[in-house]
Homo-oligomer: A and B are copies of this chain.
Amino acid sequence: MAKTPVLTPQAEDFPRWYQDIVSKAELADNGPVRGTMVIRPYGYGLWERMQQDMDARIKETGTQNAYFPLLIPQSYLHKEAEHVEGFAPELAVVTHGGGKELEEPAVVRPTSEMIINEYFAKWVQSYRDLPLLINQWANVVRWELRPRLFLRTTEFLWQEGHTAHATYEEARDFAARIHRHVYADFMQDVLAMDVVLGRKTAKERFAGAINTLTLEGMMGDGKALQLGTSHELGQNFARAFHTQYLSKEGKQELVWQTSWGSTTRMIGALVMMHGDDNGLRIPPRLAPTQVVVLAIKGDDAVLAKVHEIGGALEAAGIRVHVDDRTDTPFGRRAVDWELKGVPVRVEIGPRDLENGTAMLARRIPGGKEPVAVEALATLLPTVLEEDQALLLKQARERRESRTTDVTTVDEAVEAAASGGWARIPWATLGEAGEAALAEHSVSVRCLVTEDGAVPDADDAAGNVAVVARAY
């Protein structure tokens, strides 16, 4: 009799597989208000580790954390014309507070440009106050009609950075620094994610920005997911909020600004980029638990041994968990740890004890082999680093093998429809071609240069459009 799979196989129904994994690995549940989510401890543990690592990288740029209010007077949104147009359809509006109808309704922040700029205008007086580099970790609300856990939710958690600079060049360089040295480095080095760095077209740009830099990842089904963005805001908000400074030369000048964000969507991306039919595969550098040591049976010698190994691995700097719940069948526990994507299992039973060995099960390459118990503490750090590298390599190879160079809109649509990405010269595609793609639910994810770098301008010679269906 064939084993009933815990998850719907990816090849059968990828969206269903995703739903299964989010639910069965206990990452999140749907909230009661449409599109909201409950992030369960296992999912939140991943978010905490992401936060910790990114927060350190953000602080290294000289940025400081602060906190701005959730509620924003509705009138603030109207100060920057493109911005309000972009966000109006997604707003949640508080009309009553403290038992009374409010004189002016307040919106729940969909993003904080409006309110932060109100304060930047007060805090920035002279060139000495620049650059002003602020980040906040917060929740935001954008009403979502087709919600999916982590990917599109009415409420999500994120960090949003907001900076003001004296010159265009400084702002441009700072947006690029966040894009590459905070977001891309973190995603590649810690999340083992393959990301394409590029520039959004005018159509796909953030509402109110003069340039949006993006990171795009290919999911297991060949669709694209936007993983983070860093915007040059130019002087659009500065003009709207009169954010100006007295220069060294004694002149009033408008500041140049950036904003940049990354969200709990990264958890969804982690699932869809690395997961397989057996569940999650968590990159070792991110994993809250890197190694789980399992007692196969509940006899005393085995239990003593798993705790001894747990202690030794912890002392070797590994994040380890000892599973001694031997009242639950071993097979069920092994499947559950596999589903949760813990990178390595060390399994110990009475026979292993006799041989001085343990069974080493590696989630990322798959497979099991016996190893000497005394070798574990020196072996495992290498194993974890190998598996970290393998995850990134697999993701990169998938993206490369499923990306096709094309020269017509029809070919691009065809490539996207068959579960892949297409690359097409931007000079060939153009805005007309971009509109034609949209009719087939295909979009330009980003523009890159011929050799895959981030272009300086939308219309630079040789720009290539990376097009795909997207989440």
Point out residues on A near B: beta carbons under 8 Å: 29, 31-33, 36-41, 44-45, 47-48, 64-73, 76, 88-99, 106, 108, 115, 118-119, 122, 134, 138-139, 141, 143-145, 154-155, 157
Contact = CB atoms under 8 A, between A and B. Distances in A.
B88 A99 contact: yes
A41 B68 contact: no
Given A89-B98, A98-B89, A115-B32, A69 B37 contact: yes
Contact of A94 (B47, B69, B88, B92): B92
A41 B64 contact: yes
Nearest to A32: B73
B93 A65 contact: no
Is chain A's interface secondary structure helix, strand, loop, or mixed overall?
mixed
Given A71-B155, A155-B70, A155-B71, A97 B92 contact: yes
Nearest to A29: B119
A90 B144 CA distance: 27
Given A41-B66, A44-B65, A45-B65, A33 B93 contact: no
A42 to B, nearest CB: 9
Contact of A143 (B31, B97, B115): B97
Contacts of A141: 70-71
A93 B94 contact: yes
A85 to B, nearest CB: 13
A280 to B, nearest CB: 18
Contact of A118 (B32, B45, B65, B66): B32
A38 B65 contact: no
Contacts of A157: 67
Contacts of A106: 33, 92
A108 B106 CA distance: 12
